[in-house]
Amino acid sequence: MDRKSFLDQEAPVGYVAGLGRGATGFTTQQDIGDARLEFTNIEDGYDDKYQDVSGDEAGLLGDDQVDESDLIYESIEAKLRNKKRKRKGGDEEVALNNEGEDVSSSISAIGLQFQDLKRDLSQVDREQWLNLPESGDFTRKNKRSKMLLQEQQRFYRAPDSVIGGDQTMNSEETDLRKIQLAKDRLLELKLDNSQLAVGNGNAFNTGQNLDSSKYLNDLSLIEYRPQEVGDYQRMKLALANLRKVEPKNGNVWISSARLEEQFKKFKSAKSLISQGCQVCVHSEDVWLENVRLNLSDIAVAKSIVAEGLRFNSTSFRLWFQAYMLESAELNKKRVLQKALENIPDNAVLWFELIKYQDDDGVIRLLQKAVELIPNELSLWLKLISVSPYDEAKALLNKSRKQFGELKEIWMKAFQLCEKFDPSHLPGLVTRGVSKASDPAINWLEGLDNEYPETCKLLISTVEVTVEELAKLVETYKSKDEHDIVRLLYQELSRKDADYWEDYLEFEQTNGSLADQDACYKELTSTQPQCMNYLRYAKFRWQELGDLEATAETLYSCLSQFPDDEEVYFAIVKFENSRENWAEVEDTLVKALDRLGTERSYYKLVNFYRCNDNVPEALKLANEGLTKYPQSWKLHLQRLQMLQGDGGVDAYEDAVSQCPHSVPIWVAYSRYYESKNITIRARSILEKAEILNPQNEALLLEQVMLESRTSGPGQAQFKLVKNLKSLPNSPKLLGLQLQFLDTKSKRKQAYISDLKLTQEDSVVILEIAKSLWLKDANVGKAKSFFDMALSKDEYNGDVYGWYYLFLTKHGDEEEKEHLLDKFVKAEPFRGDSFNAFKKQIANQRKTPQALLIEFVTQISKH
């Protein structure tokens, strides 16, 4: 674009750029230079006219008092400035410091910043210049916005109750328009749902909702707030308009009646729905709604139904409603017969009618129903089930021709065959499963407990996966169909041995003793393992109490597994309970001769000791130690039989062979303790601790040694020291509770010890004992005894102390229950209980006698 020539010429005088477009001209200090000068007072320069040479006021106006007052005012002004400077901060201070700068120089500096921008204006073309925005009027912008906002706001008159209701809401701003729209939508959905319920209602549901008293009671519980009255009036008006526009729309009449009903205007609701029946005479929904609103008066409801049937004679729902309104059996039957005259192809009415017939009448009715509705399978199946066997077989063949090879027809055939001809059932099941086109899993989804043989054959014939069988088990468990679950478990455990445990657990929970016996018998036949036989023998012994059957199972197991030492020891335990000592000895000798294991030596030595045959027992122990020199149990038995006669050499030999056997170290220490050589006993335990660091039993024995020999003070000192090396030890923490003398300390220790040991049964038992014996809190002590037993049902110490507690604070029933639990559990844990049980004098006692003797012993301490 060519540059215009006039742009290089000087502008005319008074020219202002953009003035023609309404712009106001402006100038800068740089444009005018020094043209705008500061106003100069004529009298400037005369202020110092009468000043003295020294610069002070002199002459007539000079006065010392005036000078003094000036100084005072200046000091006051200085203080005021300082206060103002502190209040406004550093910006005010900078402003005060720059107060004396020349204003004109600052304006010139600002003008310099725009020089480059002004030079760039020469490059602006005409189009850009014309596109510059016009200067607008912003003087009333805020006022116009405020006026516009006021026009958009709407205000409504409302009662004080609305204000009161708003006080319960949050203090946040509320969009009233959105709330109103939400209410409208909610009411619309309610009405739509009610219309949908009427339009799609089931006849059976209609009959089940006829309790008018319950319905009216539910309505009385509804409360309406005053704020909803506006919704009611508005919706009432809207529905009235809809009735005028669409008078033949039954849903509009129903919605209008339900709106009145919702606000408890029952008279208006009945009036509206009656008008709707007159206008929409062929709408069964409207008639049914009219009946529902008049259920409080059965006579009126019956008349309404009769009137509705006059216009809707083929309405199943209206006929069924009339049937449900009748109370007498004869009237019900008449209504059903009348209904079938108008709608003979409705199977529900036929099924309802046969309820009021005898056997012959049922067959005749079903035969007629099958003729009228030949494609209704349920009628065929019902007719087959009530017909004689020969006729039923003919009907089955007809139904197969009518419907094909359906699973339902074959299932009915299986059931009839099981009932009248069970010998042909296996072949029929095989043929039916192969011919039917249904998936295999479908055969097992509708099993009936009343036909167990059919269920059993189907489960064994149909090929399904293990996962599908497992799902079916859970399905029938939820239905409490235990017989079917049992059959499924039998098939499942045959396919996968891992499910035998689930099967046994199911029988123990839900089955009888006979069912459990059958389960064990099948287990031993399909899984002939030694452990399964032993479990079966234990069940027969302890649960059934059949000693002969138990012996048969055990000796059968021994014949099949002669090299399993568990069988020998199970027989020893069983014969020991029957006090058949000769059989016990014979079995142990056979085990030693055939197996020669360390355990067989130990068991036979223990048997001889119980028979007071110590020489033979000692001889056998020495023989066993030659084969198993590191057997700490044989060493310990030998030391117990020697009773110190072997001297220190026997103990030294034992600890040298078994340096990590804590029981031998403890026995060695107690040997010196019995001879009152405490220092030696203590040093032996310290040596054992070096070889077995942080061993709980050793640390506990050290504390008990100090308690027996040096008193509780030294014992507590040793206990604190050992707890530092093993702070989470249940046994050490339990022993610490015994030394606490105040209730407050014990209470704190209860909480901390339970947390440290993760609620170990040993600590829980000590807390129970402390609550009982020291705090005298019987109720809480019992709860802790129960907790300890639930944590570890194999701890004999818990049984002993709990039984002792029940002898003081329990009844005979609780004691018997605990004793039975002890016998079944056969406890094997608990330091005090195990030490008592392994004494030779106690090894042949019955479990009941053993517990009673143990309780007697601990009650003395």
Could you tell me which of 735, 721, 745, 728 has the C-alpha nearest to residue 769? 735
Local confidence band at 71 (pLDDT 50, 70, 90 cut-offs): confident
- CB atoms < 10 A from the CB of 852, how many? 16
Q: Looking at residues 445-472, what average pLDDT do you find? A: 90
pLDDT of 642:
87
pLDDT of 351:
92
**Which CATH number belongs to the domain containing residue 300 in this structure?**
1.25.40
pLDDT of 110:
64
Q: Looking at residues 590-615, what average pLDDT do you find? A: 93
Res. 506: pLDDT tops 90: yes
Query: Would the CA dihedral through 122, 128, 130, 132 be positive or negative?
Result: negative
Which letter, b or e, does each residue of 433-472 get, where b requires 16 or more Cβ atoms within 10 Å of its Cβ? Answer: beebeeeeeebbeebeeebebbbbbbbeebebeeeebbeb
Res. 6: pLDDT tops 80: no
Q: Is 167 inside any structural domain? A: no
Res. 471: pLDDT tops 50: yes
Q: Which residue has the higher pLDDT, 108 or 417?
A: 417
Q: Is 351 inside any structural domain? A: no
Q: Is 449 inside any structural domain? A: no
Q: Do 242 and 252 form a contact (C-beta atoms < 8 A)?
A: yes
pLDDT in tens, 139-163: 555 666 666 666 665 555 545 544 4
pLDDT of 2:
63
Q: Provide the domain limits for residue 241.
A: 186-317
Q: How far apart are the first and last CA of the chain?
A: 121
Report d(CA 783, CA 607) in Å as an integer.
Answer: 41
The rounded mean pLDDT for the chain is: 82
Q: Do 560 and 528 form a contact (C-beta atoms < 8 A)?
A: yes
Report d(CA 410, CA 390) in Å as an integer.
Answer: 16
The CA-atom distances, in angstroms, between 694 and each of 84, 193, 656, 669, 812 are 77, 74, 20, 18, 43
pLDDT of 67:
66
Report d(CA 248, CA 648) in Å as an integer.
Answer: 115
User: What percent of the chain is modeled with pLDDT above 90?
Assistant: 57
Q: Is 135 inside any structural domain? A: no
pLDDT in tens, 156-209: 554 554 444 444 444 344 444 555 555 455 555 544 554 444 344 443 333 334
Strand partners, 466: none
Q: Which residue has the higher pLDDT, 498 or 97?
A: 498
Q: Is 475 inside any structural domain? A: no
Q: Is 701 inside any structural domain? A: no
Local confidence band at 228 (pLDDT 50, 70, 90 cut-offs): low
Give 611-626 as a DSSP string: TT-HHHHHHHHHHHHH
Domains in the chain: how many in total?
Answer: 1
Q: How many CA atoms lie within 13 A of 238 on its CB side?
A: 12
Report d(CA 861, CA 858) in Å as an integer.
Answer: 6
Report d(CA 761, CA 225) in Å as an integer.
Answer: 60
pLDDT of 400:
86
Q: Is 281 inside any structural domain? A: yes
pLDDT of 212:
43
Res. 606: pLDDT tops 90: yes
Local confidence band at 230 (pLDDT 50, 70, 90 cut-offs): low
pLDDT of 77:
81
Q: Is 517 inside any structural domain? A: no
